[in-house]
Chains A and B, each alone.
Chain A
Amino acid sequence: MSEFEPKIIIFLCNWCSYAGADLAGVSRYQYPTNARTVRVMCSTRVSPQIVLELLKDGADGVMVTGCHPGDCHYINGNYYTERRMEMAHRLLKLTGLESQRLRLDWVSASEGEKYAGVVTDFVKELKGLGPNPVHKDAKLASRLKAAVDASKNFRLKVLSSKEINLISKGNAYGEKINQQSVEGIMEQATEDEFKASLILQLTNKKSQSVKELAKELGEPTDRTIEHVVSLRSRNLLALDHIDGATPKYKAIVTGGA
């Protein structure tokens, strides 16, 4: 095998996309053999953590498919999928891995041809991108690990699930928040939590100074100090020792996952 054959994981919702993939078979629409499918009842089951874990583990591409908006078998599950995958995309961009490696698409039970087309197109795009470099790039690996950690973060999970209601129904006080501000909040929160997770990653084994961390994070030291202060107040980061005049920090490792 001379040509690079990407390894793709595709999540199919039971009611629409899995049936669409079956219809592609019944209709004999041919597509490349790269797809490895996982059936779930609803696309909403697929959390950002799951897709990011797989990219971290070396999948060349991950696709999540579900019913078209409005057609979800579970009323509105796919709207949540859409918001959560948006969050996963934001995290992915922060890691530096091509965010095209994660795709979300809608395939209905009657769209066998579309399914074959979507897979073919994804394979083509991934061939263009080449293999997922995570296993050869330790820095990328630790950033992807940080993205996985961030995707499990309390604040991001609550926000990404509440986005829809914040816009349509309003917050606890009944105040509706417009889409633009919600997206702004999400953007900022995602970046903050990713960087916090990355600091914990970097200081997991070896203590680091703010200056060293700022370099890794690619941002000014004063922003990094804010993250460090916040992490210290959340009892996740501690002062390890002072090297000359430079304080070095280390993550507080707690047992379990």
Chain B
Amino acid sequence: MSEDARVGVFVCHCGTNIGGCVDVPKVVEYAKTLPHVVFATSNLYTCAEDGLSSIRDSIKENNLNRVVVAACTPRTHAPLFQSTCEEAGLNKYLFTFVNIREQCSWVHMKEKDSATEKAKELIKMGVARVELLEPQEEVQIEVIPSAVVIGGGVAGMAAAISLADQGFPVRLVEREKELGGFVRNLGYIWQERREAVGALSSMIRRVKNHRNINLYLDSEVVAAEGFIGNYEIVIDTHGEQKKDKVGVIVVATGALEYIPEGLYGYEQYDNVITLTEFEILAKNKKLPKLSSLAFIQCVGSRGQDKSYCSRICCNVTLKNAMNLADNWKNMLGLEEAGKVVESIPVEKAIPAEIAERRRGRMGRRDREAGEKDEAEVAPTRLDIAVFNRDIMSYGIEHELTYNKTKEKKVRFIRYTPQNRPKVSHEGDKLVIDYWHDTMQMQMKMMVDMIVLATPLVAQPDAKEISRMLKVPLGQEGFFLEAHVKLRPVDFATDGIYVCGTCKGPADIPEAVAQGMAAASRAAIPLARGYVQPESLVAFVDSDVCSGCGTCIEICPYNAIRKNAEGVAEITVAACKGCGNCGASCPKNAIIMNHYTDNQILAEARAALQAVNG
């Protein structure tokens, strides 16, 4: 440290998020007593404009040359405070973030005194670190102005079209032979009564005809290496591999329906099908003739197997119930010109289409399609029931549809997880045994078909993409964004973006909006033309290096080579700053910029000295 450190400490109340637990004024007074601290204050919200201007002003007024902000998490807010420092003429590497919200006030809500002590110590550690930081210069690296979008469902197509419209070449890679993803299964799109295929086809046409989109069907991205602005990818089309270079990657790999194995007679009785199978039948006009059917909601979700609520299924069920109530003659194929239907000839067998689809599923044993029963005469009314735990018709118009559906005499019957309906078979009917909560009695319902609303689940091979791109998955196997609220379509890794159902259940408008959002985020580095990666790179002290080559052997990015003098040398553009070489160097000749041994040890050791006051 050439100059004397003059540290400013800014402690954030974050409204009551921090201030409600940690005694912020006390922490500020303590910070003032720390060595090299010449200024300390608190802000209601340090990230708000008055907080930021207080940082800028104090840097100038107090001649600060180091800044510590004690607030939320560097994962979301470090860039903001770093650029604030830069605006005031302070190199952004002379800044340290201390997390006293996520890792203090929020996790010690009932221990206010010791949380305050902890906040003091964390700030003490931050001050010990910031004193030792050195300014760093960042290099600019050119961005290859093109993108790859993985997945050709609605989200991926929306992203690809948006990027292509902005003038960037896009490779759209779809694993299936057709575009459209999950939406290809669907019959009608909500409300509009438009066939999903029709709505899709305009999107598909735009993708296929766009001069900026290179479409790879029946293909997969099998390898990706590099960093923002400079990715080398390999696209595999039926064993034929093509290398390519792109600047950004958009992940839109979609989701699957949950298979309710062993639940509610699925695969045991014909005509117990999933909501998606129902959609396929409706789309292909292959619904069997029915006089009654029941939907069962939350099958396999909300704790039955998956923990989460898939949230779109209630609306999908409402849509189908409404359609059936209004339009059942058409949906069941009973409308023939000029003919009045007197009765519905009920069919019991599972339609061939669904049997085929189930057989095609990997690892699933073959099953014989049930024999067709003879059609029978039934009343000229379609009875619809929806067994639910609670209907969550989120969205502006869907609650009204829920009410309308009730007016159409669709019966909504509640069940609790302790008392789930039971499905059996009696004669040629399916029987639902259920506990009627209002009547407080056990009841029976006979139906021709049961539709199980199962959640969307993560692609089983999302793990492979997660490993290939080094982006995380959440506990349920969906991709995990950088921040659920503030960075919903970014990954924590710069240059990789995520949209659509691969990050969690979403309906079509949401998936499209996410696709467009991911495209606009991805377009930022593409339009700017360069990136300025953080200067967290290793540096070799050539006087100390013995040329043993250990670091060269273990560097995951081949970023180290032996130079003409026989000592190790770092290729700055390739170094990602993991620090493996620094920890390995037998001569301690490798210094990790911004994470030196001294800086790490000083920060940690500061915690070992007791706090007074």
Contact = CB atoms under 8 A, between A and B. Distances in A.
B475 interface: yes
Contacts of A106: none
A71 B472 contact: yes
B428 interface: no
Interface in B79-136: 99, 101-104, 106-111, 114-115, 117-118, 121-122, 125
Given A76-B556, A154-B586, A24 B472 contact: no
A45 B118 contact: no
A74 B580 contact: yes
A25 interface: yes
A204 interface: no
Interface in B556-586: 556-557, 576-580, 582-586
A41 B583 CA distance: 13
Contacts of B99: 22, 37
A15 to B, nearest CB: 6
A82 interface: no
Interface string A1-34: 0000101010000111011011111101111010
B604 interface: yes
B475 A157 contact: no
A22 B103 contact: yes
A50 interface: yes
Contacts of A54: 601, 604-605, 608
B115 A26 contact: no
B139 interface: no
A15 B576 CA distance: 13
A40 interface: yes
Interface stretch (B51-59, B445-453, B504-512, B592-600): B592-600
A15 B491 CA distance: 10
Contact of A158 (B548, B580, B592, B607): B548
Given A7-B607, A57-B608, A15 B107 contact: no
Contacts of A35: 103
Nearest to A53: B601
B171 to A, nearest CB: 24
Interface string B547-561: 010100110110000
A18 B608 contact: no
Contact of A33 (B74, B115, B577): B115
Contacts of B217: none
B217 to A, nearest CB: 30
Most chain A beta-carbon contacts within 10 A, residue among B475, B578, B582, B604: B578
Contact of A15 (B492, B550, B595): B492
A21 B106 CA distance: 11
A234 interface: no
Interface string A129-163: 00000000000000000000000111101101110
A21 B102 contact: yes
Interface residues of A, number: 64
Contacts of A116: 107
A152 B583 CA distance: 10
B107 A25 contact: yes
In this complex, the interface size class of chain B, counting residues with CB under 8 Å from chain A, is: 35 or more
Interface string B482-512: 0010000000110000000000000000000
A154 B102 contact: no
A45 B600 contact: yes
A194 interface: no
Contacts of A40: 579, 595, 600
Contacts of B588: 152
A38 interface: yes
Contacts of B408: none
Contacts of A59: 604, 607-608
A117 interface: no
B474 interface: yes
A110 B480 contact: yes
Contact of A38 (B102, B117, B480, B604): B604
A77 B118 CA distance: 30
A9 B576 CA distance: 25
Nearest to A9: B604
Contacts of B554: 80, 161-162, 164-165
A24 B484 CA distance: 14
Contact of B103 (A25, A28, A70): A25
A30 B601 contact: no
Interface of A: 5, 7, 9, 14-16, 18-19, 21-26, 28-31, 33, 35-42, 44-47, 49-50, 53-54, 57-59, 70-77, 80, 84, 108-111, 116, 152-155, 157-158, 160-162, 164-165
17 contacts: A9-B607, A16-B472, A25-B73, A28-B107, A28-B109, A29-B107, A33-B114, A36-B125, A42-B580, A44-B579, A71-B466, A73-B470, A80-B554, A80-B580, A154-B548, A154-B586, A154-B587
Which A-B residue pairs are the 10 nearest by beta carbons? A45-B579, A25-B102, A74-B578, A36-B607, A161-B584, A25-B106, A47-B583, A75-B556, A157-B586, A42-B578
